[in-house]
Amino acid sequence: MAKKHRRFGALHKTLKDTNYSATSGAAGEYLNYLKGTNKLVVARKLDPKYLVRFNVGVIPFDIEPSTASGAINAYQGTMTVVANNILTKFASTATDALLGIERDLTKTKEVAGFYPALAHIAVIPSGTTDKTAKTSGITKRAYKAYPTRTGGVPYGRTTTTVKDPSGAAITDISKETEEDSRAYIMVALKGITANSFKCIGVSFTPELHPEAGFFGVAKPTGTGVPTDIPAN
């Protein structure tokens, strides 16, 4: 299972060391959050239509792909509409082929317990020059941040323009690792400007094989499906 991280671990330790008696500063504000006095408000909350999930396939890194004729190696994972829209903006450099994405679900299989590796792509409008002043709802600290939108895009094994650490092209798909893909996804996206958006960062969640899946849902179609990345 994935390792769990405590977001405010240092503050929690401070509270514990003082027997939860802090009344001021970041620790005191964090205690107010734990009590329910301070509220975490999600700014620029997305309309649910952007969070609709649909299935795509990727070839897992932890499973040896079959070389048998007609073998189906791609496992289904999920992607949100907004993540797909973000990826579409950078399709000239971060192609489906580079990420190993298969959109034809007839060429994929449903495997309960599989969660694909994800590339979390953070973007801002290309005209953005300054960070916005904000205040933490939890600690009440002032900070600045870009008005980003982020989408988690599945990725898997592929031989499209991927090289190993020595710089040699990978032609045997069974030889590719998550680390190989991460390196080339980062090159294809970070700092790139395309279609009025700039990618300011990419983070990764590793592939998992726990105990449940989400399968068989085709990408929504029709006039009600958004194709943009919302500004607010």
In this prediction, residues 225-229 reach a mean pLDDT of 91
Q: Supply the pLDDT for residue 182.
A: 94
What are the strands of the beta sheet with 117-125, ordered from one edge?
149-155, 117-125, 197-205, 193-194
Q: What are 120-172's pLDDT values in tens digits?
A: 999 999 999 888 888 777 777 787 888 899 999 999 999 888 888 888 898 99
- Confidence grade of residue 213 (pLDDT, cut at 50, 70, 90): low
Mean per-residue pLDDT, 29-55: 86
What confidence category does residue 1 fall into, taking pLDDT thresholds of 50, 70 and 90? Answer: very low
- Range from 64-68, 103-107, 143-147, 213-217 carrying the lowest mean pLDDT: 213-217
CB–CB of 173/159 below 8 Å? Answer: yes
Handedness of CA 78, 83, 89, 94 (dihedral sign): negative
Q: pTM for the whole thing?
A: 0.78
Task: State the pLDDT confidence band at 80, using cuts at 50, 70 and 90.
Answer: very high
Q: What is the C-alpha to C-alpha distance for residues 40 and 137, in angstroms, rounded to an integer?
A: 5
CB-neighbour burial class of residue 150 (10 A; exposed 0-12, middle 13-18, buried 19+) = middle
Domain ranges of the chain: 9-39, 48-205
pLDDT of residue 15: 79
Give the pLDDT confidence score for residue 52 in this predicted structure. 97
Of 57-71, 119-133, 137-151, 204-218, give the lowest mean pLDDT range. 204-218
Count the neighbouring beta carbons within 10 Å of the beta carbon of residue 138: 18
